[in-house]
Amino acid sequence: MVYALGAQASLILQSGADPTLRKSALKCSCSTARYSSPICFKFQPFNSNGYQEKSWISFSNQDFKSVSTRKWLCSKVIHMSVQQVGKKKVAVEPLDLEDDKQPPLHLYKPKEPYTATIISVERIVGSNAPGETCHIVIDHGGNVPYWEGQSYGIIPPGINPKKPDSPHNVRLYSIASTRYGDSFDGLTASLCVRRAVHYDPETGKEDPLKKGVCSNFLCDANPGDLVKLTGPSGKVMLLPEEDPAAAHIMIATGTGVAPFRAYLRRMFMESVPTFQFRGLAWLFLGVANTDSLLYDDEFSKYLRDYPDNFRYHKALSREEKNRSGGKMYVQDKIEEYSDEIFKLLDGGAHIYFCGLKGMMPGIQQTLKRVAERRGDLWDEKLARLKKNKQWHVEVY
């Protein structure tokens, strides 16, 4: 089975069938990674089209135990943004994470948070994206389990300026990985964080005194830094799995794609014996431009590998025009496919919305307009969707 790590230079690991070292760890001052055995590494340049082959560098199990080898590898492993290579699904563990009938909730509270470790921080947008978004992998050691669609609370270091002698308030972030994490072993969680900055309207310059405390802490973090976690929290965005043939319509703006990345990895990347997805997953993602697309390589791969089960539409507001000649927003893309969407909803499909709260008024207006055009009463339809637990909203 094959995993890929890296951005400018990606590290690909190919593991054999021997499960005895699955819990073994590569530890050093810069990061932690866990792999199966036997092991061989290949360094390749990463690009949106795939991986260009270069020479393999192999290590025996004895080599892997060498301190010098581990230190050398750590100097090469910058982050752990893991992607599947090939259509074969990735085995996950421990499978007892599937045993609980109810999601874990509020295992750690603000007064007694869990101290986790940053594994990696990776910028995942291009140079022409407005703003910076990072993929952040956190090692919780299996002590803060979660389900897809839940959130972690982060307490940034420092003192709350509004409450002297008190820590900062908790900031919630949707988790962007499945319960098995990017390393497929149940020991990590990933966040998708946009750096919050403020520009003075008069000067047009960035005001460092008004920057987002928590997002900047996370985006500036280094491997090995400690982070205080609370949670997990949230039940609204949990992925219903009772019917593996169900349809799921996912609508996101920006970092709101985080829970949907988790859903899609669970559906299409991971081999989970208790959840064999065979339904339809349909993602609408709204961002400013091509450089702002998040996890596009992963989503495009699912589209190639599972064309009967996955649909993917992007709304690029600064590059595309809608039918009226205005900017293309996610609600415009929804309207293009509204007949299909409404038929799916009438058939029991789930619909999810995640992103900035400013996305919802435009989407609601579009759905109401479409409903009225179809002869439906939108308020009654919306009430029915909520009653049937088909309507899932998480905005911030």
Binding residues for NADP(+): 174, 194, 255, 317-318, 327, 355-356, 394
Q: Are 184 and 90 in contact (CB under 8 A)?
A: yes
Q: Determine which one of 148, 270, 298, 394 is catalytic.
A: 394
The yes-or-no answer on residue 352 being catalytic is: no
CA-CA distance, 182 to 136, in Å (whole number)?
10
Question: How many CB atoms are located within 10 Å of the residue 386 CB?
Answer: 12
**Known catalytic residue: 173?**
yes
CA max distance for the chain: 70
SS3 227: strand
Rounded CA-CA distance 234/252 in Å is 17
Q: What is the DSSP letter of 8?
A: S
First to last CA, the chain: 38
Which amino acid would we find at residue 94?
P
Burial (0-12, 13-18, 19+ Cβ within 10 Å), 114: middle
Residue numbering of the annotated binding site: 174, 194, 255, 317-318, 327, 355-356, 394
5 strand-pairing partners:
11
Residue 354 known to be catalytic: yes
Catalytic residue among 108, 152, 173, 329: 173
d(C-alpha 150, C-alpha 173), whole Å: 9
152 is catalytic: no
**DSSP-derived secondary structure for 117-185:** EEEEEEE-S-TTSSS-EEEEEEE-TTSS---TT-EEEEE-SSB-TTSTTSBPPPEEEEB-S-TTTTTTS
Give the pair of three-digit tokens for residue 396. Answer: 């911030």
Enumerate residues 6+ apart whose C-beta is below 8 A from 245. 278, 279
Q: Which of 58, 98, 166, 396 is catalytic?
A: 396
- Interatomic CA distance for residues 281 and 254, integer angstroms: 18
Q: Which of 74, 134, 192, 354 is catalytic?
A: 354
Active-site hit among 81, 174, 183, 292: 174
For residue 260, the surrounding DSSP H or E stretch is helix 258-264
Q: Given the DSSP bridges, would you call strands 310-316 and 280-287 parallel, antiparallel or unpaired?
A: parallel
Helix axes 338-346, 359-373, angle to 10 degrees: 80
State residue 162 phi and psi, 5-degree precision.
-90, -15
> Which are the catalytic amino acids?
173-174, 354, 394, 396
